[in-house]
Each structure stands twice: as C-alpha cells, then as structure tokens.
Amino acid sequence: MVDKVTKTAAEALDGLLFDGMTIMAGGFGLCGIPENLIAAIREHGVKDLTVVSNNCGIDGFGLGILLESGQIRKMISSYVGENKLFEKLYLSGELELEFNPQGTLAERIRAGGAGIPAFFTRTGVGTLVAEGKEVREFDGELYVMERGLTADLSIVKAHTGDAEGNLVFRKTARNFNPMMATAGRKTVVEVEQLVAIGALDKDNIHTPGIFVDRIFKGAVFEKRIERVTTRQKESV
C-alpha cells in the first residue's frame, strides 16, 4: 500500500511545488484553512502562484502571509474585504484578481473535480461576471456558462483523518475543503487528529481517501478567529 502519511507539512509538499503553479486552498475566512501547509509554502518560497481560495486570509495570517512574501501573482476569490495589503497590491497592479461569485466558485471546483468542463448558472447574468462568456436561454431564463476548475495542487484542512486519507470535517470549517480535495491533481491534507484505520465511522466519512495523496497531523493549529462575537449571560 502507498504510504500517504508524512510527518511534516514540508515533507507532504516535497516535490509538488513549482513556480507558476495553481494552488487551491480550503477555508472560509480563517475558518478551516490549512495553516500548516500555507506556512510551509511560505518557507519553501515557490512563486508566481495562482491561488484559488474564497478569501485571501488577513494581514499577517492565512494566505495573507503569501501576499506579504510576494509569492502570489493571481487570486481567484469571491471576497477579499478583510485584507488591506490585498487592496493595495491589487489597486497598484502588482496582483491579478479574478472575482467569482461564491456559489459559482464552489461549483466550478466541484465540477472540475467531477470531470465536468463547464456548466450553466443564472448567477451573474447581466453583470460584469458574465462579460465575454456564453449566455444561453433554457426554459425562458438566461444562464451564463462557467468553466470547471482544477489545480496543480489542493491544500486542505480536515479535523480528523486516517492513513487511507479518509476525512471528516468539523462544523463550518468544512466549507470549500471537500470540493478542493477532489479538484487537485495532487491533494495534500493536514488534520488535527490522525486516527487508526478503522476508527472512523464509514457511513460518516465526508471525503473518501481516493481524493487524498498525502496526509499529516499539523504541528500547530492557531485557529485564529476573525470576529469574536459574543453575548452576555443572562443573570438568572
């Protein structure tokens, strides 16, 4: 059996990184991001990256650290409002940006991983997003054609995994991770818990191991929260 388990993020990425490549990175905001793999990519120094990710981290954390190091050439995202450096680099022309509606981005990745080269959606009809794309009428409604999306590498964060690469995500940290796991020509996963084969409930595996090439237990999970929002305990 091919051993998918590695000890470190650097080992998991060994031989998979090259300049000019496309990388998909899971996460929504800072929730469910592969923070160990992002740090290892920064350490490696690979550059001219096209990064597909819903957001681009924040200044100083998540994908934001790859902006600071100048390793990202282009982002494909739906929302980048949390990142001042991003706005500066984009408005000065140092960073290329392709905005996709969030659902279109999710579906492009799902389609790419499922071998579907294109699909039609009503999202974006009559907006900048539809410019230059085929628009077709189905049953009296207009739809815009969007392309499936794949990547050279997907970096994914799951909560629990086993040596087979079977994955279980936790709460809203799932987000883009399962689709991205399917759409990378290579998929590398970091988990908080690496459990023995047989320990996961086979009926409740979110991503089957076929989509996973390498897996490791992350050394550190800082799991920063962007907007801590709480309520007061009612005094009883």
From the list 2-10, 61-69, 76-84, 212-220, the region that binds another protein by CB under 8 A is 76-84
Determine which residue in the list 102, 133, 205, 217 makes contact with another protein, applying CB under 8 A.
102
CA distance 154 to 211: 10
Shortest CB 233 distance to another protein, Å: 5
Torsion of CA 61, 161, 185, 95, to 10 degrees: -10
Tokens of 12: 């998991």
Does position 53 interact with another protein (CB under 8 A)? The reply is no
Give me the phi and psi of 159, to 5 degrees please: -80, -50
Does position 202 interact with another protein (CB under 8 A)? The reply is no
Does position 213 interact with another protein (CB under 8 A)? The reply is no
CA distance 193 to 163: 11
Does position 204 interact with another protein (CB under 8 A)? The reply is no
Query: Residue 190, Cβ neighbours under 10 Å: how many?
Result: 27
Alpha-carbon distance values, 136 to 120, 126, 127, 223, 226 (Å): 8, 12, 15, 43, 40
Determine which residue in the list 57, 62, 64, 178 makes contact with another protein, applying CB under 8 A.
178
Place of tokens 């009296």: 140
CA distance 79 to 84: 13
Contact predicate 102/121, CB 8 Å: no
Shortest CB 218 distance to another protein, Å: 14
Tokens of 170: 């936790």
Determine which residue in the list 196, 231, 235, 236 makes contact with another protein, applying CB under 8 A.
231
Residue window 13-52: x/- pattern of binding to another protein, with contact defined by CB under 8 A: ---------------xxxxx--------------------
Closest to another protein by CB, 16 or 120: 120
Determine which residue in the list 42, 74, 170, 217 makes contact with another protein, applying CB under 8 A.
170
Closest to another protein by CB, 19 or 172: 172
Does position 99 interact with another protein (CB under 8 A)? The reply is yes
Contact predicate 154/186, CB 8 Å: yes
Contact predicate 216/6, CB 8 Å: yes
Q: Residues in the site for another protein, rule: CB under 8 A?
A: 28-32, 54, 77-82, 86-87, 90-91, 97, 99, 101-104, 106-107, 109-110, 121-129, 159, 169-179, 206, 223-233
